[in-house]
């Protein structure tokens, strides 16, 4: 299978707009909502959601960046000394509605690590998860509150969410493992 674009730029922007509206509708105290993007591609997605929410609701939303490297439970011996990309969360998470933002929900291990990192910073009122793609194959009982698109995949397929900020394009690509887009 060649690399196949399964969500183009316009569809991705529509999905982010829909998720933004869902966040506003499902959080009765929208003024306590903060977005925390999981590095690497969750951060630009969180920035896009922030812009949408502020545009649609006239509220200011706090934004943070989270590096979960030290919270992962699946580091291999190859990564005994993990490379850290610092987290930037310069606000108090206590009593906030924290929405973690990531590109793909797969096994659930990244989301679990992110929740652990957030709880290490304080006690949010609620933690929610927003993802561009949910591809299934969960290893942990984790489910996203907001999903751009559910894309069932086989374990030998790979989903690559691309964003302008890091990739120079905005789209979602499906490929076979070993044939990353």
Is residue 180 over pLDDT 70?
Answer: no
Beta-carbon contacts of 89 under 8 Å, excluding residues fewer than 6 positions away, are: 36, 64, 65, 66, 121
Beta-carbon contacts of 11 under 8 Å, excluding residues fewer than 6 positions away, are: 149
d(CA 126, CA 165): 29
pLDDT tens, 13-67? 999 999 999 999 999 888 899 999 999 899 999 999 999 999 999 889 999 999 9
pLDDT tens, 78-113? 455 444 458 899 999 999 999 999 999 999 999 999
pTM, rounded to two decimals: 0.91
* Interval 131-152 mean pLDDT: 97
pLDDT at 71: 61
Q: Nearest to residue 49, comparing CAs of 94, 73, 13?
A: 13
């Amino acid at each position: 299978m060649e690399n196949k674009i399964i969500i183009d730029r316009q569809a991705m922007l529509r999905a982010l707009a829909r998720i933004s509206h869902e966040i506003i509708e499902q959080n009765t105290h929208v003024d306590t909502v903060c977005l925390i993007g999981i590095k690497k591609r969750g951060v630009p997605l969180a920035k896009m959601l922030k812009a949408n929410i502020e545009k649609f609701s006239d509220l200011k939303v706090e934004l943070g960046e989270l590096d979960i490297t030290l919270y992962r439970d699946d580091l291999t011996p190859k990564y005994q000394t993990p490379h850290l990309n610092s987290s930037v969360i310069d606000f108090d998470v206590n009593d906030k509605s924290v929405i973690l933002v990531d590109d793909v929900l797969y096994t659930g291990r990244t989301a679990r690590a992110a929740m652990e990192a957030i709880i290490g910073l304080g006690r949010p009122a609620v933690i929610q998860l927003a993802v561009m793609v949910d591809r299934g194959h969960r290893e942990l009982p984790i489910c996203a509150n907001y999903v751009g698109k559910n894309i069932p995949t086989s374990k030998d397929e790979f989903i690559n969410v691309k964003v302008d900020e890091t990739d120079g394009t905005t789209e979602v690509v499906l490929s076979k493992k070993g044939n990353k887009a």
